[in-house]
């Protein structure tokens, strides 16, 4: 049974034909007993960049007000009303900054999830919370969500009604269509059932955190330039996509830099050694032979692609941070002139 709903709890139109299974963008690692996935946490790196900006901006305002207050004391012009107003303003902006920065640093980066054929259970770590449910009792549900103004879909596994909403396990998010979500579910269903004969080859994720250059080239702000893998683009496509990425970087470099920082922030819970170690349970009816599925490592960036991204990052950094001529230097000059 498949439940496909949007946030208003309305039925979504889904092709009744069973989709072909797909594990791309889903699997972190797998063998004949355990399969790991790593759905994103509450915030993507781009969303964290916004939260970081909302934290750093009031922090800068609070620091500016502090300097104004210190100057007023030095010049002897700080009356009681001025001191009171500035002190309250500093406290408010500082509290906003601390709240935003704490949220960006502590929000879970991802929810490690383990599908265990030996126990027949699914385990997901959400921060300090551990959710564990029998696979046989979980029902797939697809929700529509909005990410960066675009409609996306996420696959969840819902526990029995009597258990409550806390038993909802997130499997994958930011999929392009309900069919993509159901293709992931079909992959997991066949894996847990040991029906491996027709499983497609799997390209695993890059790791628990994507390399910085891959994060730079494919995030919420730059994903439109990464329309195809580099090797599959024509020469003209590479030139145009690189020019578009350079333009976005020149205009939006502070947010891209905060996105890279945000990709390294956030708690990443670890599955226990008992979850990941050698299975000690009785493995009756569980296949222990080598998994007959082609598991491919995540493709690494080629030398030319890496050079292009490094050059774009260097040019953007120089354009914004060059002493006396960069955008930040001009902004500082304008601030001093106020």
Same domain, 24 and 159: yes
State the residue range of the domain holding 56: 49-104
Percent of the chain past pLDDT 70, that is, above it, reads: 84
Q: Is position 25 within any domain? A: yes
Same domain, 42 and 65: no
The crossing angle, in degrees rounded to 10, of helices 45-75 and 235-262 is 50
Spatial CA neighbour of 41 closest among 123, 127, 122: 127
Structure tokens belonging to residue 3: 């439940």
Same domain, 269 and 284: yes
How many other CB atoms are found less than 10 A from the CB of residue 312?
23
Same domain, 159 and 284: yes
Count structural domains, the chain.
Answer: 2
Q: Is position 80 within any domain? A: yes
Q: How far apart are CA 315 and CA 224, in angstroms?
A: 20
Q: Is position 207 within any domain? A: yes
164 DSSP assignment:
-
Confidence band (pLDDT; 50, 70, 90) for 193? confident
Same domain, 84 and 149: no
Q: How far apart are CA 219 and CA 259, in angstroms?
A: 8
Q: pLDDT value at position 164? A: 47
Same domain, 32 and 142: yes
Answer with the one of 68, 87, 104 that is the final residue of a domain: 104
DSSP 168-219: -EEEEEEESSHHHHHHHHHHHHHHHHT--TTPPPEE--S-SS--HHHHHHSS
Q: Give tens-digit pLDDT for 50-88.
A: 889 989 899 988 888 888 888 888 887 778 888 888 888
Same domain, 95 and 240: no
Q: Is position 78 within any domain? A: yes
Task: Count CA atoms within 13 Å of residue 122 on its CB side.
Answer: 26
Same domain, 216 and 308: yes
Confidence band (pLDDT; 50, 70, 90) for 314? very high
Residue 2 has pLDDT above 60, yes or no: no
Answer with the one of 58, 80, 104 that is the final residue of a domain: 104
Contact 36, 269 (CB under 8 A): no
Residue 216, beta-bridge partner list:
none
Q: Is position 337 within any domain? A: no
Q: Is position 336 within any domain? A: no
Element (H, E) at 85: helix 80-106
Those residues with Cβ within 8 angstroms of residue 328's Cβ, 6 or more apart along the chain or in another chain: 320, 321
Distances, alpha carbon 147 to alpha carbons 77, 140, 188, 314, 330, in Å = 50, 21, 25, 29, 33
Nearest 5°: the CA angle 6, 12, 13 is 160
Question: What's the whole-model pTM score?
Answer: 0.77
25, with CB counted inside 10 A (0-12, 13-18, 19+), is middle
Same domain, 24 and 95: no
Q: Is position 333 within any domain? A: no
Same domain, 53 and 42: no
The helix/strand/coil state of 41 is coil
Same domain, 215 and 68: no
Answer with the one of 74, 89, 104 that is the final residue of a domain: 104
Same domain, 82 and 200: no
Length of the chain equals 338
Highest mean pLDDT among 71-75, 271-275, 312-316: 312-316
Q: Give tens-digit pLDDT for 231-260.
A: 889 999 999 999 999 999 999 898 899 889
Q: Is position 338 within any domain? A: no
């Amino acid at each position: 049974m498949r439940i496909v709903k949007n946030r208003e709890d309305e039925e979504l139109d889904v092709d009744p034909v069973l989709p072909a299974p797909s594990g791309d963008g889903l699997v972190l690692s797998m063998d004949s007993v355990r399969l790991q996935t790593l759905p994103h946490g509450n915030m993507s790196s781009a969303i964290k960049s916004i939260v970081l900006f909302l934290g750093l901006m009031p922090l800068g305002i609070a620091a500016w007000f502090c300097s104004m207050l210190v100057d007023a004391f030095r010049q002897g012009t700080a009356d009681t009303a001025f001191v009171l107003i500035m002190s309250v303003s500093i406290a408010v902006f500082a509290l906003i900054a601390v709240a935003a920065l704490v949220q960006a640093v502590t929000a879970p980066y991802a929810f490690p999830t383990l599908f265990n054929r030996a126990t027949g259970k699914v385990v997901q770590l959400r921060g300090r919370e551990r959710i564990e449910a029998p696979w046989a009792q979980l029902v797939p549900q697809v929700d529509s969500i909005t990410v960066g103004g675009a409609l996306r879909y996420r696959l969840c596994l819902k526990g029995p009604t009597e258990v409550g909403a806390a038993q909802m396990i997130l499997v994958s998010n930011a999929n392009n269509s309900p069919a993509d979500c159901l293709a992931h579910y079909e992959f997991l269903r066949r894996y847990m059932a040991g029906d491996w004969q027709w499983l497609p080859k799997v390209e695993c994720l890059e790791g628990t955190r994507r390399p910085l250059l891959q994060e730079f080239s494919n995030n919420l702000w730059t994903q439109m330039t990464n329309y195809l893998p580099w090797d599959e683009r024509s020469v003209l496509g590479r030139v145009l996509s690189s020019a578009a990425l350079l333009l976005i970087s020149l205009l939006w470099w502070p947010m891209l830099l905060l996105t890279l920082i945000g990709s390294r922030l956030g708690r990443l819970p670890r599955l226990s050694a008992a979850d990941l170690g050698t299975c000690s349970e009785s493995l009756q009816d569980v296949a222990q032979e080598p998994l007959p599925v082609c598991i491919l490592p995540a493709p690494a960036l080629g030398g030319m692609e890496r050079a292009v991204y490094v050059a774009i990052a260097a040019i953007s950094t120089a354009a914004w941070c060059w002493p006396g001529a960069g955008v930040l230097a001009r902004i500082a000059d304008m601030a001093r002139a106020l």
